[in-house]
Structure 1
Amino acid sequence: MTAFLATGGRVLTPASRDATALAHENGLVVWAGSDAPGPALFPDAERVDLAGDWVAPAFVECLPDGLDLGAAAARGVVPAALPPATHPGAAGEPDGAHDPSALEATVRAGERVVVGPRTDPARFAADLTRLADELGGPAVARCTPVLVGGVTGGAGAPDDGTLAALAAVGTVILLRPLVDDLTGTDLVRLAASGVALAASTRVGDEVRPWDALRALTSVEGGRGLSPRAAFTATTRGARRAAGARDGAVGTLTPGAPATFARWETGELAVVAADDAVQRWSTDPRSGVPPMPDLTGPDPVLRALVVDGLPAGPAA
């Protein structure tokens, strides 16, 4: 396949905080950096002028059943479906409680573990811990346990011990910010616990990725995620929930799939902590990758690329 070199933009990549260019070939990201060396590194590449647009990993929806995938692509969202839940009778989006016997059979078979929001996190953690003691922690972690919802605030919120136990066996908590009431949910504590976070962008039969980010970052009491953490949950985190294990999928790291969206945005901003209150800033000294300002209008999707091929509203 032809190599592509896109320059003149703003690229969200672990390779460089200030990247303005991205190259991909054969469906994989091969380089990210500043504009100047790009043409010399890839002299035969097809050139794309980003015209100042922001390039970032595409949003990922891991609860895609019933969605119009074309409409999702038009919002910069690609599907990566979860496997069926482990409890009996699950179909489509998992919504039930876990069944201990089904859970044990699934783990012993080395298959994916997905349970719904009626699951008691403490009981789920206890069952996973028991299986880890019997089979070894890696055997459980390879199943990538996913708890969909079920971690909202209040008396039923998981305590620190439960979160530590879930983190120890590689559990992913899949948040549904446009479905579940996050009032009173301490997402900062969840993120600090070591449990991997993923997030769905859907509500009903549509996806609203930017509204999902706003919901994740605006939890009352300053207990929401930073924009960067929320974006990670809807990209790399969602990929992990759907079974990716290498840590690169869902990022624009060289060697990762070239699946990304190009957005027309206003000025990018960073969020820095100030007395435990998140404040918007454009100070590059923070070291935090800049993101679109979620207090403004939604960025406009200019192009979607999936595995190196055009898939969205523009080439």
Structure 2
Amino acid sequence: MSAHLLTHGIIHSTTDPYAQALLVRDGVIAWLGADDSADRVADPGDERRDLDGAVVVPVFVEPLARPADARDALSRGTAVVTVLAGPEDTGAAPADEDVQTVVYRHADRVDAEAAGVWLPVGTDTDPATLTGLLTASTQAGEQAYLVPDGGADAGPAAQDVALTALRSVAEELGTAALGRVRHRLVVTHSVTAEDRAFLAAAGVSATVVPDADGVLHAPVASLLADAVSVCLGAGPAGDPWAAVRSALSHPDPDERISARSAFAAATRTPLRALPDAPAAGLSVAPRLSVSAPAVFGVWDADAVAVQSPDGRVAAWSTDTRAGTPLLPALDAETALPRWRATWVDGRIAAEDVARDARDGATPA
């Protein structure tokens, strides 16, 4: 397998927050560090690529999608997609084989290969039926994904129905039984402190997405503060960076979180929320580090920063102990990052060819 040395970039790595270059060999990250050390670790025959200031970050992991949404995932810097397969869907495989999908079957569909079961929840959902399905999945050790009809635009009533069903199962089987399966819940509206404590104790993760207008309504800061795992999806707009920015600009100032926390919710936490078996089969890593799979996105950004939830931007500390890797600036005055390429298994799986032709640039 060929090797590639990428230089003159900004590598988002917690193991080396000052990294400007990385070496990809045999499908994994073989090295990352400073530009002035790059030539010493690369072999003469390794292909050189100039990032020209681009930002390299872990790929996004979409926690909530339908089969059609996976088809252009790579062009959004997304390499793993959690797919809700409806009862009529014969398969959820995307058009691009480099997109890794994790499928949740519909409750009315049998699929032995599914990671879990998708339980739609509406205001007209029979509570007893939903509780019965949730009880059965818990006893079978199958993770359930409770999704209010309408996604981010669903009303609070459906969310309340789902929470009531979770509590009913906890009363019958015990909170520990829920914790062993780690069910998932799409949260679209406010959650009481009592319910947040219950979700944390039961190991239920929350998936949040901005609505059609790009506004995030779920109480992300409160959920995180109460130890509820939060997965951030791209929402109807399909732009993961816009979703990250929506968490920084939450309409409730008390619910805003930092860019770093929001980025983790869009990349790392969706992997952790998956059942152990399907998660272990994915070729992806939540962080860019030596020996990790070479799966990452390359983005052009107008500026980079360490950004706090209220929009203030702190300069990158010159103290090497700070250990805070940079991300694209996501304030309202700065354009969102522009996708350049997605690497999977140590090679370019998708790239913005139009950009290369327009700018006369070398693909990265």
TM-score normalised per structure 2 = 0.71
8 Å CA contact 1:131–1:140 kept in 2: the answer is no
8 Å CA contact 2:62–2:234 kept in 1: the answer is yes
Structure 2 SS opposite 1:301: strand
Structure 2 SS opposite 1:289: coil
Q: Which residue of 2 aligns with 1:303?
A: 341
8 Å CA contact 1:85–1:113 kept in 2: the answer is no
Q: Which residue of 1 aligns with 2:164?
A: 123
Q: Which residue of 2 aligns with 1:252?
A: 288
Q: Which residue of 2 aligns with 1:312?
A: 350
Q: Which runs of 5+ in 1 are unaligned?
A: none
Q: Which residue of 1 aligns with 2:121?
A: 96
Q: 1:13 to 1:183 in 2, by over 3 A?
A: closer
Identical columns (%):
27
TM-aligned CA deviation for residue 88 of structure 1? 5.3
1:98-140 Cα distance to aligned partner (Å, 9 max, x none): 8222222222222222111324364355346457748xx4x64
C-alpha separation in 2, matches of 1:132 and 1:284: 50
1:34-79 Cα distance to aligned partner (Å, 9 max, x none): 2344433343643322121100012222333243545332222234
8 Å CA contact 1:270–1:288 kept in 2: the answer is yes
TM-aligned CA deviation for residue 25 of structure 1? 3.1
C-alpha separation in 2, matches of 1:41 and 1:69: 37
Q: Which residue of 2 aligns with 1:160?
A: 193
Paired amino acid for 2:58: P
1:255-303 Cα distance to aligned partner (Å, 9 max, x none): 4332211111122111247xxx441232426654322121211222221
C-alpha separation in 2, matches of 1:313 and 1:131: 51
Q: Which residue of 1 aligns with 2:228?
A: 195
Q: Which residue of 2 aligns with 1:60?
A: 61
Task: Tell me, yes or no, if structure 1 residue 233 matches structure 2 residue 274.
Answer: no
Count of aligned pairs between the two proteins: 302
Q: Which residue of 2 aligns with 1:209?
A: 240
TM-aligned CA deviation for residue 308 of structure 1? 2.1
Between structure 1 and structure 2, the one with the greater Rg is 2
Q: Which residue of 1 aligns with 2:24?
A: 24
Task: Tell me, yes or no, if structure 1 residue 291 matches structure 2 residue 327.
Answer: yes
C-alpha separation in 2, matches of 1:84 and 1:180: 27
1:177-226 Cα distance to aligned partner (Å, 9 max, x none): 135996764321111111111111131xx612222122221112322221
C-alpha separation in 2, matches of 1:17 and 1:198: 24
Paired amino acid for 1:268: V
Structure 1 SS opposite 2:246: helix
Paired amino acid for 2:220: L
Equivalent positions of 1:27-38 (< 5 A) are: 27-38=27-38
Q: Which residue of 2 aligns with 1:279?
A: 312
C-alpha separation in 1, matches of 2:288 and 2:201: 27
C-alpha separation in 2, matches of 1:77 and 1:173: 20
Q: 1:128 to 1:177 in 2, by over 3 A?
A: farther
Q: 1:24 to 1:309 in 2, by over 3 A?
A: same
Task: Tell me, yes or no, if structure 1 residue 109 matches structure 2 residue 134.
Answer: no
Q: 1:306 to 1:105 in 2, by over 3 A?
A: same
Structure 2 SS opposite 1:311: strand
8 Å CA contact 1:178–1:201 kept in 2: the answer is no
TM-aligned CA deviation for residue 84 of structure 1? 2.8
C-alpha separation in 2, matches of 1:142 and 1:3: 41
C-alpha separation in 2, matches of 1:181 and 1:132: 38
Equivalent positions of 1:179-190 (< 5 A) are: 179=212, 185-190=218-223
- Please report the RMSD computed on the Cα atoms of aligned residues, expressed in angstroms: 3.4
C-alpha separation in 2, matches of 1:210 and 1:146: 23
Q: Which runs of 5+ in 2 are unaligned?
A: 84-102, 111-116, 149-157, 353-362
Paired amino acid for 2:262: A
C-alpha separation in 1, matches of 2:223 and 2:213: 16
8 Å CA contact 1:272–1:279 kept in 2: the answer is yes
8 Å CA contact 1:10–1:52 kept in 2: the answer is yes
Q: Which residue of 1 aligns with 2:303?
A: 267
8 Å CA contact 1:94–1:148 kept in 2: the answer is no
Structure 2 SS opposite 1:207: coil
